[in-house]
Every structure is written in structure tokens, then in C-alpha cells.
Structure 1
Amino acid sequence: MRALLLAAGIGSRLRPITATTPKCLVKINDRPLLDYWLELLFEGGVDRVLINTHWLAEQVWHHVQHSHWRPRIDVVHEPELLGTGGTVLKNRGWFLDQPFLVVHADNLTDFDIRGLIAAHERPPHEHLMTMLGFRTDSPCSCGIVELGTDHKVVAFHEKVQNPPGNLANGAVYIVEQPVVDMIADIGRPFVDFSTEIIPRLVGRIRCFETAGYHRDIGTVESLYRARIDFPQRLAVYTRRAPYGATTIIN
């Protein structure tokens, strides 16, 4: 399975840190957030990763060139931000008409990717997307889901006051190709996934709840908290990635 790793955001809530450092390269326990993601994805069985860039793109590009996983990473630059849906649509050919992962690089997590994939593939196959869910201590600042039978999302509440629960959208998805067609039908380059696509998929989304760590590090307060409570994890650099692939810039 391939994965789109969204890393183009400006990170305005993290200023002044992100005035000189792209959000995906902010460090937790002396390690860039992007490296946690690359290790998690590739060790979890992902074949190839596409990273989109925008703000301070040269730093991200330079970091990728020195990554252990470089031969399995493609990079695409967005002169103007497209939103999650717009980025998916712009790069639809890269997904090879197969289901694919979409993940937001501004989260710090250790969820079970293989478990997410297994949940997506488990019958009955009535869903078009599987969403990672996590329990949040700040439900008003998240998209909150309500579940029916077979972990089906039956309602979605995007950042509302007094939401009915604390099971939140973890901004990690396995997406089927008909969703890309749905994005294309909107007819414009910028498409917001949370407000324009997910509501249309209610009833066709399966939720996989992680029991692990999951935090949005999009604010200075959240970043500092993650640096305190996220367990130290040693980088795995002993396994060499296959060579011979091409890194792309558009």
C-alpha cells in the first residue's frame, strides 16, 4: 500500500518555531517529527510514501535526501496549498488505482498500521474509507465521530461545542478510489477533506480506534506536552531500504 504524507502546512499556530523550521521537521525528543512518521509507515508495511511540501520546502527536500528511506520516498511541491482533498486529486495517478493511506504529518503517533489495514480489509466491504480514531482530552477542538454497528461512522461533528463523546478523528485514513472520483466531482483544485468529503461519506466510513499514543502537535502547548509524555523511541536504521527508485519534484 502507498501513503500520502501531508507535510505542506505553514504551522502558524507553532510560530515562532515554524518561522524558520517546517512543522514536519519540528523535533520531539531530539528527533524530527517526519522521521517518526517515515519509520512508522515503512516499518508498518507501506511500500512507498509521497510527501507534499509548500512552506520551507527546501528544508524538507534536503532532509529527505539524507533519509535512510530516501529511495522509497517521492516529494511533490505545491506552490499554492490545495487542501487534503485537492492534494489527493492532484496526485491521483501516483496511487495506481489502489486503496491508499492519507496521513497528516502534524500528528505524533504510534498507532498500529497493520491493524488499521486489517480493519479496512475485514468484511463486509461496504465502506469507502477507514478512519483512525483516538480518545481526546479536548473534544471541542477535534472532529468527533459517533459509531454504529461494525464500527461504522454514523455521525461526524467537526470542532463543535459540547460534542457527543470524545472519540476523535485521528486524521489518518485508508481511502478507496471512488472517494477520489467524489473529490473530482467538486470541480475545483482546493478541497477540504474534513468539511467537504467526510460528511458525504458518513455511513460509508469504518473507524479503527488506536489504544496507543496520538497527539496533534500543532500548537506550542501541545508540542511541549508531547516532548514530555511521548516515550523515547530509538530510530531503526539497521534495515536498508531497496534502491533504484526515483524521487520526484513537481
Structure 2
Amino acid sequence: MEAIILAGGLGTRLKSKVKDVPKPMAIVNGRPFLEYILTHLQRGGVTKAVISVGFMNKVISDHFRYRFGTIDIEYSVEDAPLGTGGGILQSLKFVNTNPILVVNGDTYFQIDIFKLLAVHSAKDADVTIAAKFLEDPDRYGTVKFDKTGSLVSFEEKVKGKAGFINGGIYLINKDILLSASLPPVFSFEIDFLNKRSGDINIQIMPSDDYFIDIGTSDDFEIAQREMGAFL
């Protein structure tokens, strides 16, 4: 299996903690955050990762070069920010397998990747999203799905209302993107998933595995305390 890691964001909300490196390279318990993600992918059977990079991309490529453990690494360089969707679309030119695993570079969600693939295959899905239940999902909005796991809707952020969030890990059939008429810059979540939810097969795999998003200073500090066990 091959994966795309979205690591091209600017990380503006974390500048007080991380000043001289892109957010996925923030040091967490002595190691770059991206190493935790790659270790998880390696354990899940990923053999190649395409890292979609932008801001300070040389920091990432100089550190990892073209190999991490058993994973071959290639880089898809964004000359200007493309959004999550544009980053995925540009990275597809380096991908040979189908479906493709897509992972956010600033979240760590320790799901069973083999199980995600099994769900995706069994449901003949176009997109399968790993979802995490949070008591306080204020930052994210939530996903609604039926008893079979089929997506019902994406819900806006509602303060104080618990629910499942999009955990930032997807399995995507490449053809569903390559056959669509899409601009070079777009949000995968807003401009594709939200708009196409009624006409493509989107499945949800809920998981209670460990989840952390280092997008805020508070969660970055939590990651420092909790993530040492995951390497």
C-alpha cells in the first residue's frame, strides 16, 4: 500500500511553540512528529509515502531523504499552497497503488490500517474515513453515519455537543478524484467530500484508538506527555 501525507500547511496556530520548522517536524518527546506518523504507516503495511510539502519543505526532505525504515519516500512540492485537495491531487502522479491512504501531517490517529482497508473493500467504498468520538469536538464539526457505516452528513461545529469527528485518515479510490473536474487549489473536506457526499459511496470507520491533533499549543503540550510510547 502507498500513502500520501499532507504536510504542506503553514502551522500559523502553533507558531508560539514551533518557529523554525514546518508543523509536522515539530519535536514531540525528542522526535519529529512526522516520525510517529511514518512509524504507524510502516506498521500498517505501507511501503511508500508521498509527502506533500510546501512551507520550509527542505527541512522535511533533508531529514528523511528518500527512506524511513522500510518505507520509500517521495516528495510532491507545492510551490504555492494548494489546500488539502490540491495537495492530494498533485501527489497522485507519484502513486502507483489503488486505493491510496491519505493522512494529515499534523494529526496522529493510531487506527488499525489493515482494518480500514478491509472496511473499504467490503463496502466497495469510494472514500472511507476513520472517525474518532470526542466529548468536545468544538474545533472540528462532526460526521453522522448510519448503522451500516454509510455517511449521512457532515455537521457544522456545535459547542458542547459530543460526536464523531473526521480523524484525518482516509482510503480513497484514485479514480473518484482523477475523473472529477476539480480546480488546482481546493479543500478535500469542504469542496469535495461535502459537495459529493450525496453521489459517491463514503463510508465511516469509527475507532476509539489514540488520537491527537497538534494544531494548538495546548494539544501540542499533551502530545509531549503522551506520545513517547508510540515509537
Q: Which amino acid aligns with 1:194?
A: E
CA distance, structure 2, for counterparts of residue 9 and residue 74 of structure 1: 18
Instruction: Quote the residue 2:187 is aligned against.
Output: 192
Q: Which amino acid aligns with 1:209?
A: P
Q: Which amino acid aligns with 1:128?
A: D
Deviation at 1:200, TM superposition (A): 2.8
User: 1:195-210, aligned counterparts within 5 Å?
Assistant: 195-202=190-197, 204-210=201-207
Aligned-residue sequence identity (percent) comes to: 27
TM-align CA RMSD: 2.1
1:145-204 superposed Cα distances (whole Å, 9 cap, x missing partner): 11113111101124x22486411100111001232136x413x21010111111133252
CA distance, structure 2, for counterparts of residue 191 and residue 97 of structure 1: 23
Structure 2: segments with no counterpart, 5+ residues: none
CA gap of 1:12–1:70, structure 2 versus 1, over 3 A, is: farther
1:226 aligns with 2:223: yes
TM normalised by structure 1 equals 0.84
Contact 1:29–1:232 (CA under 8 A) maintained in structure 2: no
Instruction: Quote the residue 1:112 is aligned against.
Output: 112
SS in 1 for 2:52: strand
User: 1:93-108, aligned counterparts within 5 Å?
Assistant: 93-96=93-96, 98-108=98-108
Q: Which has the larger radius of gyration?
A: 1
The farther-off stretch of 34-43 and 161-170 is 161-170
User: 1:51-130, aligned counterparts within 5 Å?
Assistant: 51-65=51-65, 68-69=68-69, 72-96=72-96, 98-123=98-123, 125=124, 127-130=125-128
CA gap of 1:178–1:65, structure 2 versus 1, over 3 A, is: closer
Greater strand share, structure number: 2
Instruction: Quote the residue 1:156 is aligned against.
Output: 154
From 199, 210, 220, give the equivalent of 1:213. 210
Q: Which amino acid aligns with 2:109?
A: T
Deviation at 1:19, TM superposition (A): 2.2
CA gap of 1:200–1:66, structure 2 versus 1, over 3 A, is: closer
Contact 2:66–2:74 (CA under 8 A) maintained in structure 1: no
CA distance, structure 1, for counterparts of residue 71 and residue 224 of structure 2: 30
TM normalised by structure 2 equals 0.90
Contact 2:66–2:72 (CA under 8 A) maintained in structure 1: no
1:134 aligns with 2:143: no
1:26 aligns with 2:30: no
CA gap of 1:153–1:59, structure 2 versus 1, over 3 A, is: same
SS in 1 for 2:229: coil
CA gap of 1:71–1:231, structure 2 versus 1, over 3 A, is: closer
Deviation at 1:98, TM superposition (A): 1.9
CA distance, structure 2, for counterparts of residue 121 and residue 12 of structure 1: 37
Deviation at 1:66, TM superposition (A): 8.0
Instruction: Quote the residue 1:247 is aligned against.
Output: none
